[in-house]
Structure 1
Amino acid sequence: MDDITFVSRLEACTLAPEHFNHAGHVRLACLYLDRYPLDEAIARTCATISAYATHLGGANKYHATITVALVRLLHAHGPTVLADAPALLALHYSPALLAASASRAAFVPPDLAPLP
């Protein structure tokens, strides 16, 4: 599926769930980063993923802090940096902070090392 169709279907919540795995999240963020300034790319990525998760009945699966952090890391280092996203996040965030409901609902700055 081409990029325009992918984004359009995702934004309209008509994309089949099997097309939106981890690679789909990275693809979306990369496409937004290519089209928009960082802050807008982050906002669009968060809004699109959150809306899609809610549409699929998984609103509780969306994690704002992880989404923002990974988009920032992706912007700074490129997509290969996300090969081991959990280990990369662990450099910046303690498990307790990422497990907190506040960090799921809204972006929380890292407690271990600043994001780029």
Structure 2
Amino acid sequence: MYHKLNTMSCTNPNPWYAKKHTHHSQFSDIEFIEAFEKAVLDPKLFNHEAHLRLAWIYLQNFGEQKAIEKTCSGIKHFDIVCGNGDKFHTTITVASVKMVRHFIKKSKSASYFDFIEEFPQLKVAFKEILGQHYSPEVFISKKAKVDYIAPDVLPFD
């Protein structure tokens, strides 16, 4: 589980460090979180599904509010270190965590990969799900990028 993260040292190097990963699924949850939080995860691997996995892991370990905080601060940091620092969108990120939480409450899955198999719509119809909760105008507003705006069409719970 995520809480059992070991610290890295010269005598205890990370086994994934020298590997060439081509997909985030090649990391264990612990390795994935560690690489993400240290911003050493290849940005090409941090796709939409990896964002969902991040939310799932944080929700499993910290509950909704702390998962939102960690997801937002983590993605902002990752964007600054690995990108241009201009891609983070608060409302989309918070809404994503809330959507993952909604489906976790219905899930029988013990792993992220079983979870996403159980609810593939999060992966393949994410924009459509967001559209059930928000009008399109919300996402183009500058306020929504910086501050969380609650759904204006249908609440999450």
- Using the size of structure 1 for normalisation, the TM-score is 0.93
Higher helix share: 1
Partner of 2:110: none
CA distance in structure 2 between the aligned counterparts of 1:77 and 1:27, rounded to whole angstroms: 13
Partner of 1:114: 155
Secondary structure of the corresponding residue to residue 59 of structure 1: coil
Superposed displacement of residue 88, structure 1: 0.6
Deviations 1:31-89 (A, max 9, x none): 10110111001111111111101112332211110111111111011442413110011
Q: In the alignment, is the contact (CA less than 8 A) between 2:59 and 2:101 conserved in 1?
A: yes
Secondary structure of the corresponding residue to residue 60 of structure 1: coil
**5+ long unaligned stretches in structure 2:** 1-26, 105-115
**5+ long unaligned stretches in structure 1:** none
Q: In the alignment, is the contact (CA less than 8 A) between 1:65 and 1:104 conserved in 2?
A: yes
Partner of 1:56: 82
CA distance in structure 1 between the aligned counterparts of 2:56 and 2:33, rounded to whole angstroms: 11
Partner of 2:146: 105
Structure 2 residue corresponding to 1:28, chosen from 43, 54, 78: 54
Structure with the larger RCO, 1 or 2 (CA within 8 Å, 6+ apart): 1
- Using the size of structure 2 for normalisation, the TM-score is 0.70
Q: In the alignment, is the contact (CA less than 8 A) between 1:29 and 1:45 conserved in 2?
A: yes
Compute the RMSD of aligned alpha carbons.
1.2
Which amino acid in the other structure matches residue 106 of structure 1?
D
CA distance in structure 1 between the aligned counterparts of 2:43 and 2:63, rounded to whole angstroms: 27
